[in-house]
Structure 1
Amino acid sequence: MNDPDVHIFVYAADEEYDAIQSCFANHGKVTRLSGSSENDTVLFQQDSVLFIDPTTQEGMRLYSSAMRRESSPGMVIGIAGPESMEEIMVRTHGNMIDYLPKPITPMSMKMVRRRIGYLLDLHRRIRKLESGKNSGNQKRTMEQVETERFIAVRQIVERISVFINQIASTVQGGIQYFNELQYFVSIHDIHCRVIAANPTYHKYLGNRINQDSWGIYTGHHGQKENSPVYHCIETGDVLDSRATVQYQSGAKVPVIVHTAPIYNNDGEVDLVLEVFAGTKEIERLSQEIRTTQQRYEQLFDAVPSKVVVLDRRFRITAENRQFRKDFGKHLGDHFFDILRPGNFPAYQDPITLTMKYGLPQQGEMVLSDSDGAQYNMMTWTSPIKTPTGKLVQVIAILGDVTELRRLQTDLSRLGLMISTISHDLKGSLTGLDAGLYLIDKGFYRNRPAQIEEGLDVAQLMVDRIRKMVFDILYSSKERELELEVVDVHDFAEDIAANVENRIRAAMIEFHCVFEENPGEIHADVGLLRSSLMNILDNAIEACIEDTEGKKSTIDFRVKREDHMVLFEIRDNGSGMNVEEKGRIFDLFYSSKGRKGTGLGLYITRKAIQKHGGTIAVFSQPGQGTKFEVRLPLPKG
């Protein structure tokens, strides 16, 4: 076909339009339709061709508008995927002369171009006939038209076979089904005669061209009025039915028959497409597919890692048991709505890269769920492609290494803690040596004041070493609580007396507000005292580290709240940011760097929880910190 008078109109996506433009660049003029109201001004000609994707609402509207005009296009070709063909045939009443399958291939485009050229030549000869040729020429031309019509029908059968092969090459999970199944395809006229059939039809049923459509059936469908083709002509609908056909070998085979009408330009049924396949073969292959799918699902669920399959829009199309166990059922949901990546630049994570380039990827992703919990996931991704190389899905295997990363972090913190403890122990021993030196010199020179100073220094160093050893022992080994009845008011006053001198020595104001009779609790006195003293020690250090120059204060309040006793310790020191506040109770974590062991608050929370209580912290940088410890009062 090489005719500059042919005008090609196209309403389709960019990819399809580019393929059509490239194919017809040297064979006519190509105009793209936008689908807006301005298309109403388009004047189609007798030899114009309209390529249109009617699967969209705008495409169907444009098609209906074009067919209602006096200057309608000479021929219309639908652009659709295999799954949409039957629906389009019904919606357009078979008025499209051909269908261009997605994705468009050079071979399918070449076949359509040849068919357009053939039909355009046929249309022109018919117009010449109508313009006044003599009766002899008219008779010969009509015979030629009938012959060419028969050839065109055969081309339709061939195109359907190509279309079925297209389905076989793109459908997921059903490739074996389409490859093994024998499809019988035939075209029938309105007199219920076979006018074309595919090779499979001829192989098993013989050459039945120009014979009755019902002649292959036995039983009820073996009569014209009961045959599938006759019913399709009478109703004008796409129909499905079950029947029994008899091969030329004499074998009788139950089949599922699909019939669809093909309409002429006047909207009348002109031909009938009949397609059928054996039900036993369908059932056998369906059972094989079900069995294979069950085995696949068992293997899929047996994988100890989390496995998901995503489509091109990142929607979850399959998930294994481990993924459902940890994150729930999310079929159809967007993957990144369930787990959000936090350690990769935008669109640079392994899943997105595999979607983009179609290549396997791997890497560690930090993912956060809807509750804010973070997971370290080693992620391996692989593309799932059709036999033609088109990427349709991505499989992602997620290995949870959160505990491993936490253990690595804990080990590094443990090393820092040991280093810190060694440093503190060395300093305490040096201080103890200094205290002993003062005592020795005091005895030698008979200076009681120096002896007392040495004893104070030695006692302070011993207390520091004792606390350090106590923290290490308590963090590494569980012990039972030694409970006794404790008067809360007296207990709070004892704690305040123990820390008051140290607080005031650091030039910090200390305010105590204790309710007169908050009640009694059952507690391990030594453990609980150590826990509250640890919070007060942290408050002292926060005030000392504050460099803003404001007057430092620490408030210690105790009161009764319903069936609980509240211990509140507040300072106006340096405060903490969100990250520090979220980690201060973690083992080996210290906001003081090398100055802390990372054990104090971990042990404090553990001790309070063993008493059946709770601890909460409220803090903002530069505005200080407040700890709230609640312990239950005895019932009754």
Structure 2
Amino acid sequence: MSTSSLHDKLSVLIVDDEQDIREMLEILLQEFGFATILAADGFKAVEIFQSSRPSIVLTDIKMPGKDGIAVLKEIKSLGPEAEVIMISGHGDMQLAIQSLKHDAADFITKPIDEELLEIALKKVSERIRLRRQVREHTENLEALVREKSAALVEMERKLAATQIMEGMGQALTILASDPAAGDYFPEMPFYVAIHDAASNVVTANQAYHRRFGDRAGQSSCGAYERCGEPGWKSPVREAAESQASIHRHETMIAADQTRLPVIAHVSPVIGAAGELELLLEIAVDVSEMRRLQEELSRTQRKFERFFNTVPCAISVQDRDLCVVEANATFRRDFGNPEGRPCHQLYKHRDVPCDDCPVQASFVDNAPHQYETMVTTLAGEQRNILVWTAPLTEADGTVSHVLEVSTDITQIRQLQDHLASLGIMLGSMSHGVKGLLMAIDGGAYRVDKGLEKGDLQRIGAGWKTVRHRLDHMRRTIMDILYYSKSREPNLAPHLLHSVAEYLAETVATKADKAGIVFHTDFSQADGQILIDDIAFSSAMVNILENAVDACLFNRGAKEHRIDFHVAESDGQAVFTIQDNGIGMDQETKDNMFTLFFSSKGALGTGIGMFVANEIISRHGGSIIVDSAPGQGTIFRITMPISPSAAQSP
């Protein structure tokens, strides 16, 4: 299916501060069948959107003045249904992720791939088309319901006329004795007949004559389908015997043998002597009403099929958060609600969720959005995106809230997969970074040895360079293994040697920065089981963060880092203490979260997450103690290898 068949000439606003990119995108989109509007900056884009209201906006993130994120926010506030696709550079990934949080439809990276751009446009065009179809279907359904409801109201008005039949009885007694009575009957809208006390037809209006023929003098029973059935009495006969009004649903047989469903109302006319004189029969044709009821029933069933076939869990909840209606998808995933509250069905808990969107819709009479994790009837964990909408009475009071839950588990799994890829890249880059620092330290020794003619220092430095080059080779060879999930390749290493290696790796950077780097390995006994490349990468990252923290603390007269390693109670304890800038509580709470960084543009938000993952996989733990302006203490605890006690 081509893109143009999906959108019927949708308009696209192209926003980019580079003219070449704008013109290139315009050519591409016109080939895809879109109408295009161009804007050279964010301010012009918002102005054009207010006047033209394009369906789709394609905007760059990095622009001078008003950037793409600001354009996204303003467009979503002006037109929430507008679909916004973000264009990001390879270095703008964090901004691209931020744009998704502000309801961007998609993002593509530079250089722009035509196929990816077409896929993104197809996706948003299909979303716009579906939204329009749902809106049109809803409007048509509402119009049909209004039309049928009006017809039923009109029919009910006609039926209400039967309530005055007894009052008409006395008037018709006078009319029946008057020769001119026949002039009144043609004006009556129903089948009206007057019967004598013996239940024979005396006279009838023209509608009765046209439908049932001239039945004057005949038994009133003959017009009914059940006439002659044992034990059955016609409404006229029953009213005559009980001398009371009778109101029944019956079927009459027309002159052309057509079956006619009616509501028959018969009222007796009692004379002055208290004797039955006449019976007034009024039969109301309800064929049209039944047809309308069947049509409305078909419409309701069609709506129910639509309600039940939507691939989302839909429920209607009252003010107690109890589910009063639910579609088939909801019942399949969470069971029969039976008036139970949603938090029991979703999360098997007895109290409402924090920030419940249904409660919020009851409070402010507005739609809300919410993302959470739920458990299905089968015990499956799912990520769902919840949308709520208030259902109001005629006076505007919110009586119920409609909740639509969409399963986004696959999207979150894809995000986790991308995050894992980032973790792998971060782990490799930090490992290579540590080795490069070690090589830099060896080269520094060689330079100092050459400067002072110290062959011993030159030899030691060159040994370090050669040793780290060997590590570099092994690291590159291990990239294929790091691209797949695997457990650490553990091997025994002397704790003292590990500590010296880490100190040697970071000491050069600290020395160049003018930071006092103090070490104490006097109690570093025993050995530990580690994957040396991964563990070194994690520890070097923490040590480098200590160096950066000191550099950020410009108020300190002297910067100092203390690195102590010791064996204590069967544990290897690595203590890193600095007098750097320190951390507040929020930073401490989020420091091991993926993509969180307190360094702004200088940080990737990967390093500490990777370090924590590596230490955890080694069976270790990290404890952090810090306060703003008071420095930071990292305590990394690792298990001592059981074979350490047997080592010489």
Determine if the TM-score, normalized by the shorter chain, exceeds 0.5. Answer: no
TM-score computed with the length of structure 1 as normaliser: 0.40
TM-score computed with the length of structure 2 as normaliser: 0.40
